[in-house]
Each structure stands twice: as structure tokens, then as C-alpha cells.
């Protein structure tokens, strides 16, 4: 009645409060996602959809809170804003373009 | 011609035959073809399942002739036998049970107004009779044709699940799809059973995920039995087959009472198998070496029978039922073999929930402590290890059943407090001579306390080792805590069973009051 066919578990080292312990890891622990800090300069699509409008061009200065794009997804127009002020380095999409999830849409310097 | 029968009246026998005819029609489910299809996927029919889980000959069915209430979309022209759900009462190991099983062969087991009425009626019975409720789920979800009435049906079930929580044991068995809102009835119940390749649970199915997010995933990988047993923790028991699942249910029932005013049935006393489970062979005194804490439980409990709950989920803590001198108890034990036995988000959820079940149903708690602390990591902090970890503190503090704690080796820092310490009102805290009850491990502590001394020493590494040894000698033992009375007794490991038996025996009349309140606000 094991969900995973268990081979002999591998012994790993785990350090807790300065002490190192011999133990095994779970599959869930091994598959945990490494942390990646949020990069506000890169704007990714959070959902697949269609780019409806593009409000900025390469080289343009923007202020935090400015509209960059409209992404239509699930029958909703989602306004994509920038959280930081800066200059547009690249616009990778045009109106009418379909995008998948986690596609790099706009990049700031 | 009998005087009391007039010419045109049918005889009792004829009436009975007519009833049998009707019953035959109503118990045919969705018909031969649908039943064949059900069997082809390795599944039993709803009635077969009920008969398999209940004591032989004990099942009595009700509401067989209930008809569905759908009016729109030509539904009024359709006959759905029993409206796709079988309900009734019976016994398991002689214990009374209320039970329902959705019949996938009838309109995909979809939940309409009368289908839900049948379920809520048997739930109401369970509450009135104060007996456990078992729900076997195998349903495509809401019956779309019945619209909002179908949603109302779910709502009525959830409400009853909530009221029954902590009053009668509620068991959910997932033997087919259980998707969308339907998942929330199982989620509100005490124990969820799943069977490999048969159970499927999710809020949003693969098709919608594909459409909306463009992500491809199979039903099995999204919400199959293995996923819920190992990753989400939504399921407590995993079986390879439906029959194995029913055996698990029967075993579970033997450990728990009918309702919250009763104790679980007492069994004949059996000694642990001490020739198989020898502490000297199982247990390394070096607190950095792993071992399987389940073997310690088996060395202590009756007949070395330990029935594990959530076996595959958060294996760094072990919870489950066993018996001590015939009486049902709940064990909670850190598992050094997995992730060094740390508390983390999942293990805290798992322990907190189990503790609350035991407390609600008068099952004494035995806690075996051997943990280095909480799992370090950004993912843990961001997943809310603070509020999840708090559940363990809350559950132990709140519990008023007899609470016996045995500290085997490490009991460091916050982990020491959380694992049913004296401070959270354990009735008896026992410690083995190998116990290390301290604010942290010797290396960590020495590095902080003696930082300057170590740094300023001509040979820092030597000085560090010396200080670690010093700290170990002074603090990595049970006697400092015992000197403050935080440990009631330092005991010989081989006398653990005897001490626990005595503690349970003299706690038989334990009654502890808590401040009057509507309810607490546990860190959900």
C-alpha cells in the first residue's frame, strides 16, 4: 500500500539550528520550488490570453502605476501596470497577439 | 374464499410480489450497460460497496423509491432509480452506522435535489442516533439540469457535515470522481479514504486548466489517490483496491467510538511483541542518527498493532491509533527517519488535526518527542509555517483528554514546547535518560553562547569542540528540565509501557475545564 514504490531510501544531511542530522527526504521536499526573487523589471503574463492594447514603446519613460498593456483573458480585460518607474527596454508583444502563461511581455531598464 | 378479502382485492402475497417487482426495478441502478461500464473501470456498484463494508446481512435501505425532481430540459420524462444514491443503516463490527453511496451508473451519480435530500436525511439520522456516518462518493458533480437546486443540495450537506463535526465520526470514501464543489463534503469530514487509480478529486479539472492556463496535466497527476495521499494530505488512507479500502475502514472503526459521549470499544489486552521490537536494536542513542519511530510505538502498544493515519503525507511526523491495555489511544510521534523529524507546514497540519480528532472523541494522546525543531527554508516561511505550526500548540493546549508525553531524545527550542510539553498541560511528561531538553542543540548553542571565547581563542576549532562538549555535558540531558519539574519522571526506556499504562489508568476520570466560550479561533 505504498504510493511510491520505495527503493532503499537515500540518507541525506539536514541542518537544523546548527546541528547536522542524517535522515531521508520526502518527494515533496525534493520537489520544492527554489525561491526566485521578484524582478519588477520583467513583466510576465500571469495567464494565457490575447494582448488587446499596448500603451508603451521602446525607450519610453514610465512611472510606477502606468498602464503598459491590456491582456484579455477569461473574458476580462486585465490592465497590466508597472510597479516601478523607469525606461522601457523592450516590448515583446503587439496588439492581437496570443500569449501563453509566463511569457515575457515587457522589460524595463 | 377468505372472508376478509373481497374479490377484487389482491392478496398479501400478490402485493408483496408487486413490491418485489418495484424493488427490482429500483435497484437495477443505471442498467446492465452502465453497470458493465462501471465494472470495466475496476469499480464496484454502489450497493456492492455498501454490502462489502457493512457486516453481512446488516444493511437496510431507505428511500429506494425516491424520484428525482428535475422538471426542465425534459428531465421529467426520465426515470433515475433511487435518484442515483443508495442510503441506509447497518453495522460494522457490530457498531451501528449510517451510510450512503452515490451510484455512478445512474446519471453519473450526479447530485440533484432529491439525491441530496436522501443524503441529508441519512445524515440527520446519524446525528439523531449519534452513530458514525460513512459517505461513498462516486459522482460527476452537480446535476446541471437541476440548476441552483443542485447547489442548494451541496450546501445542505456541507452545513450538516459541519454540525456533525466532533459529534459523530464522519468518514468519506472517494471511489470515483469527486470534483468541484463536491470535494468539500469529504474535506469537512474526519477521514478520507482513496483507492489507487479510482479516486479523483479536484476543484478545477484538467480540461479547464488546459483551456485557461494552457497547462497539460492528467486527472491522475492532478488529483489522483497518490497525489492526495502524499502531496496534499486531503486523503488519510490509501488503498490499492476497493476491498483493501473497506478493510481499512473496518479497522479504523474499531479504534473510534460511536460518538463524542462514548469511548472506543475496549479490546482484550495483548502484550507487545517484544522479541520482534527490541528498543536496544531500534533506538540509536546518538541524537543525530535516524531510526523509525513507528518501531518504538510497536514496542510499546498492545500486540504491536499500530494503525497509521496519513501514512504517506508529511512522513516527518507519525500519527495513528493503537491500544494500550485494550484501550484505544492516539500516538503522535516525530519521525527522525524523515526530514530529521522536524515540524513544518504539513506535519503541523497533520498533527493538529489528529490531536483534535482524538480530543473530540475521548481518545487519550501519547506523544513521543524527538525533533530538532522546525524545518528551515524560504518555502516554509512563505508557506506560513508560523500559522501552520501554531495549530499544534493550539490543538495540544485545547485538548483535555489524558495527555502523556515521552521525550526520547531531542526536544529543542520551540519544538520542545509544541510537542505536548508540561507547559501545554501534558498530564505526565516522561523522559528517557537519552533525552536532550534544551533551547537548542549543543553545537548551535555553543557557537552562540561562547562566540567571543571561541573567536578569541588561539585555536578556535579546539575551543569550539571543548565548549560543545561542555554544553552537552551540562544541558543535553533530561535532568535540567527535571530539576524544574518540567519532566515528571526520567524513566528507564524498558519501563515506558508500564508508565504509560499507569498514567492512562489513573487518568480514567480526568476532567479538565476550559474557559466558557462560543468557540476558539484556531489558526486555520
pLDDT at residue A5, as a whole number = 54
Strands B237-239 vs B191-195: parallel, antiparallel or unpaired: parallel
Give the SS3 label for residue B481.
helix
The three cell numbers locating residue A18: 546548527
Give the closest residue to B255 by CA, choosing from B389, B354, B369, B108. B354
Identify the H or E element spanning B304. Answer: none
Cα separation, B142 vs B164, whole angstroms? 23
Q: Residues A79, A54: contact at Cβ < 8 Å?
A: no
CB count within 10 Å of CB A100 equals 12
Give the closest residue to A22 by CA, choosing from A9, A10, A34, A13. A13
Does A20 contact B at CB distance below 8 Å?
yes
Does B312 contact A at CB distance below 8 Å?
yes
Per-residue pLDDT at B231 exceeds 80: yes
Per-residue pLDDT at B210 exceeds 50: yes
> Over the stretch B111-163, which tens digit does the pLDDT of each residue have?
999 999 999 999 999 999 999 999 999 999 998 888 899 999 999 999 999 99
pLDDT at residue A17, as a whole number = 86
pLDDT at residue A9, as a whole number = 80
Per-residue pLDDT at B348 exceeds 70: yes
pLDDT at residue B214, as a whole number = 79
Please, what's the b/e burial string for B347-382 (b: 16 or more CB within 10 A of its CB; e: otherwise)? bbbbbbbbbbbbbbbbbbbbbbbbbbbbbeeeebee
Give the closest residue to B90 by CA, choosing from B78, B98, B80. B98
> Over the stretch A11-57, which tens digit does the pLDDT of each residue have?
999 999 888 999 999 999 999 988 989 999 999 998 889 999 999 99
Beta bridge partners, B318, equal B333
Is B372 in contact with A18 (Cβ distance < 8 A)?
A: no
Q: Residues B418, B396: contact at Cβ < 8 Å?
A: yes
In the block, cell 418485489 appears at B20
Q: Residues A80, A69: contact at Cβ < 8 Å?
A: yes
CB count within 10 Å of CB B513 equals 6
Give the SS3 label for residue B381.
helix
CA distances from A28 to A24, B149, B249, B315 (A): 12, 40, 27, 10
Residues of A in contact with B445 (CB under 8 A): 18
Report phi then psi at B205, rounded to 5.
-75, 170
The three cell numbers locating residue B168: 459523530
pLDDT-derived band at A1 (thresholds 50, 70, 90) equals: very low
Which candidate from A1, A16, A28 shows the least CB-CB separation from B340? A16
Average pLDDT in chain B: 94
Is A24 in contact with B239 (Cβ distance < 8 A)?
A: no
Cα separation, A35 vs B381, whole angstroms? 11
DSSP one-letter code for A83: S
> Over the stretch B396-414, which tens digit does the pLDDT of each residue have?
999 999 999 999 999 999 9
Does A22 contact B at CB distance below 8 Å?
yes
Residues of A in contact with B226 (CB under 8 A): 3-4
Using alpha carbons only, how large is chain B's radius of gyration in Å? 27
Global pTM value? 0.93
Cα separation, B116 vs B98, whole angstroms? 15
Cα separation, A46 vs B213, whole angstroms? 9
Cα separation, B235 vs B89, whole angstroms? 24
Cα separation, B75 vs B107, whole angstroms? 11
Per-residue pLDDT at B8 exceeds 70: no
pLDDT-derived band at B68 (thresholds 50, 70, 90) equals: confident
Per-residue pLDDT at B500 exceeds 50: yes
Give the SS3 label for residue A2.
coil
Per-residue pLDDT at B505 exceeds 70: yes
CA atoms within 13 A on the CB side of B364: 28
pLDDT at residue B80, as a whole number = 84
In the block, cell 571543548 appears at B466
The residue-averaged pLDDT of B293-322 equals 98
How many CB contacts within 8 angstroms connect chain A with chain B? 99
| Chain B residues 413-442 with a CB less than 8 Å from chain A | 413, 440-442
pLDDT at residue A6, as a whole number = 57
Q: Could you tell me the sign of the dihedral formed by the alpha carbons of B409, B414, B417, B423, in that order?
A: positive
Query: With pLDDT > 70 as the criterion, what percentage of chain B qualifies?
Result: 98
Shortest distance, CA B236 to any CA of chain A (angstroms): 12
Amino acid at each position: 500500500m505504498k504510493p511510491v514504490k520505495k527503493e532503499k531510501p537515500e540518507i541525506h544531511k539536514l541542518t537544523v539550528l546548527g546541528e547536522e542530522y542524517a535522515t531521508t527526504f520526502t518527494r515533496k521536499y525534493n520537489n520544492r520550488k527554489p525561491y526566485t526573487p521578484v524582478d519588477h523589471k520583467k513583466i510576465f503574463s500571469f495567464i494565457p490570453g490575447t494582448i488587446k492594447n499596448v500603451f508603451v514603446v521602446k525607450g519610453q519613460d514610465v512611472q510606477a502605476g502606468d498602464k503598459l498593456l491590456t491582456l484579455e483573458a477569461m473574458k476580462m480585460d486585465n490592465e497590466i501596470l508597472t510597479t516601478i518607474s523607469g525606461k522601457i527596454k523592450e516590448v515583446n508583444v503587439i496588439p492581437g497577439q496570443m500569449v501563453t502563461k509566463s511569457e515575457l511581455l515587457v522589460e524595463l531598464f | 374464499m377468505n372472508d376478509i378479502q373481497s374479490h377484487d382485492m389482491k392478496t398479501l402475497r400478490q402485493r408483496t410480489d408487486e413490491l418485489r417487482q418495484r424493488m427490482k426495478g429500483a435497484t437495477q441502478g443505471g442498467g446492465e450497460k452502465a453497470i458493465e461500464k462501471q465494472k470495466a473501470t475496476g469499480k464496484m456498484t454502489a450497493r456492492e460497496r455498501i454490502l462489502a463494508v457493512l457486516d453481512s446481512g446488516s444493511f437496510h435501505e431507505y428511500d429506494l423509491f425516491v424520484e428525482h425532481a428535475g422538471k426542465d430540459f425534459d428531465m421529467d420524462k426520465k426515470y433515475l432509480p433511487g435518484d442515483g444514491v443508495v442510503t441506509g443503516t447497518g453495522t460494522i463490527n457490530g457498531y451501528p452506522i449510517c451510510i450512503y453511496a452515490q451510484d455512478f451508473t445512474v446519471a453519473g451519480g450526479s447530485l440533484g435535489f432529491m439525491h441530496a435530500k436522501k443524503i441529508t436525511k441519512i445524515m440527520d439520522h446519524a446525528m439523531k442516533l449519534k452513530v458514525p456516518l460513512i459517505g461513498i462518493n462516486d459522482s460527476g458533480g452537480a446535476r446541471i439540469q437541476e440548476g441552483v437546486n443542485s447547489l442548494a443540495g451541496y450546501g445542505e450537506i456541507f452545513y450538516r457535515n459541519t454540525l456533525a463535526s466532533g459529534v459523530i465520526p464522519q468518514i468519506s470514501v472517494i471511489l470515483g470522481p469527486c470534483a468541484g464543489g463536491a470535494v468539500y463534503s469529504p474535506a469537512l469530514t474526519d477521514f478520507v479514504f482513496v483507492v489507487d487509480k479510482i479516486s479523483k478529486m479536484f476543484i478545477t479539472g484538467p480540461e479547464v486548466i488546459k483551456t485557461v492556463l494552457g497547462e497539460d496535466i492528467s486527472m491522475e497527476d492532478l488529483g489522483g489517490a497518490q497525489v492526495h495521499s502524499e502531496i496534499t494530505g486531503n486523503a488519510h488512507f490509501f488503498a490499492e483496491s476497493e476491498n483493501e479500502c473497506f478493510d481499512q475502514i473496518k479497522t479504523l472503526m474499531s479504534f473510534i467510538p460511536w460518538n463524542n459521549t462514548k469511548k472506543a470499544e475496549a479490546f482484550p489486552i495483548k502484550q507487545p511483541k517484544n522479541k520482534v521490537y527490541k528498543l536496544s536494536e531500534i533506538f540509536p542513542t546518538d541524537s543525530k542518527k535516524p531510526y523509525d519511530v513507528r518501531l518504538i510505538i510497536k514496542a510499546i502498544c498492545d500486540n504491536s498493532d499500530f494503525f497509521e493515519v496519513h501514512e504517506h503525507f508529511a512522513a516527518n511526523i507519525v500519527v495513528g491509533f493503537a491500544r494500550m491495555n485494550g484501550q484505544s489511544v492516539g500516538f503522535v510521534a516525530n519521525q527522525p527517519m524523515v526530514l530529521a523529524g522536524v515540524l513544518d507546514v504539513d506535519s503541523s497540519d497533520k498533527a493538529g488535526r489528529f490531536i483534535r480528532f482524538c480530543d473530540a472523541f475521548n481518545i487519550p494522546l501519547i506523544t513521543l518527542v524527538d525533533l530538532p525543531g522546525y524545518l528551515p527554508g524560504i518555502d516554509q516561511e512563505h508557506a506560513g509555517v508560523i500559522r501552520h505550526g501554531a495549530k499544534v500548540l493550539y490543538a495540544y493546549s485545547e485538548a483535555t483528554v489524558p495527555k502523556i508525553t515521552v521525550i526520547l531524545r531531542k526536544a529543542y527550542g520551540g519544538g520542545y514546547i509544541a510537542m505536548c510539553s508540561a507547559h501545554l498541560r501534558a498530564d505526565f511528561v516522561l523522559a528517557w535518560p537519552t533525552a536532550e531538553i534544551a533551547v537548542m542543540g549543543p553545537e548551535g548553542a555553543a557557537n552562540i553562547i561562547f562566540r567571543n571565547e571561541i573567536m578569541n581563542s588561539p585555536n578556535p576549532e579546539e575551543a569550539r569542540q571543548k565548549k560543545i562538549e561542555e554544553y552537552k555535558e551540562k544541558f543535553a540531558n533530561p535532568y535540567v528540565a527535571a530539576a524544574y519539574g518540567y519532566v515528571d519522571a526520567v524513566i528507564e526506556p524498558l519501563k515506558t509501557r508500564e508508565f504509560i499504562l499507569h498514567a492512562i489508568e489513573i487518568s480514567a476520570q480526568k476532567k479538565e475545564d476550559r474557559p466558557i466560550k462560543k468557540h476558539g479561533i484556531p489558526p486555520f
